[in-house]
Amino acid sequence: MRRALIVAAILLVLAILALRADREQLRRLYRSVPRPLPNADLVLDDEAWRQAVAWEVRDGPFPGAWSWGDWRVVDGVLEGRDDDGDFAVYICPFDHGGNFLLETRVRILADSAGRVAEAHLLTRDGRELHHESGAVLFGGQRRVSARHMVDRVDYVLHVIKPSRPVSEGDWHLLRFAVRGGRVQVWLDGARLFHSDKRYPAGTYREPHFAVRNGVVQFGGFKVYVAS
């Protein structure tokens, strides 16, 4: 009888240990499974964003859009052209706060004159231009720039060198964000830049595209706000 009790006690201890091990395995499994964040339409580098506005060119003009320079719709995308070293600018008015993320698909076409075409994704306060922030791609070069200007002070004016040149003729996904005063840039899903310091935020009413020295196509854009 005593022997049976000892065996039963040993089996009970082993069962408890196995149950604890199973629970720990379950906890590890639970922690390893990605879980969607509440009210998040996009999660980048563990930061949640909620979509505030989205525009596809094929759906028609953006409400209240205005521009200068040479712009036209080609095969459902917006094409801007600059042939004299000035800027062609297309503005999509939309008020948003200082924590924002801009996103667009962009394609820089090869320039027959050998110029370096520039594709700009920016936002600003308006014609007064006290606040302007965004990113620029340089076609065929290992060069992407980030800018964050508030009250006409350039807190960030940084040139980034990605591992490969910005290929011409291919579509790229460009994202630019300011969150908690930190400036970030992504290209094709890879984060190229994250500022170490925190900077003031401005007032923004005019997300826009700009083209210089060539032809660039944009596949619409999205604006996200912090979730």
What is the C-alpha radius of gyration for the chain, rounded to an integer number of angstroms? 25
Q: Which two tokens stand for residue 134?
A: 């965004």
Which stretch of 11-25, 39-53, 128-142 has the lowest confidence by average pLDDT? 11-25
Q: How many helices (H) and strands (E) does the chain have?
A: 1, 14
pLDDT over threshold 90, residue 111 = no
Mean pLDDT estimate for the chain? 89
Cross-strand partners of 222: 54, 103
Residues 145-175: pLDDT tens digits?
999 999 999 999 999 999 999 999 999 999 9
φ/ψ (deg, to 5) at 97:
-80, -170
Pairwise CA distance, residues 90 & 61, whole Å: 11
* Predicted TM-score (pTM) of this structure: 0.82
**For residue 114, what pLDDT is reported?**
84
**What are 198-214's pLDDT values in tens digits?**
999 999 999 999 999 99
* Alpha-carbon span 9 to 20, nearest angstrom: 17
Would you say residue 35 has pLDDT above 60? no
Give the tens place of pLDDT for each residue, 185-196.
999 999 999 999
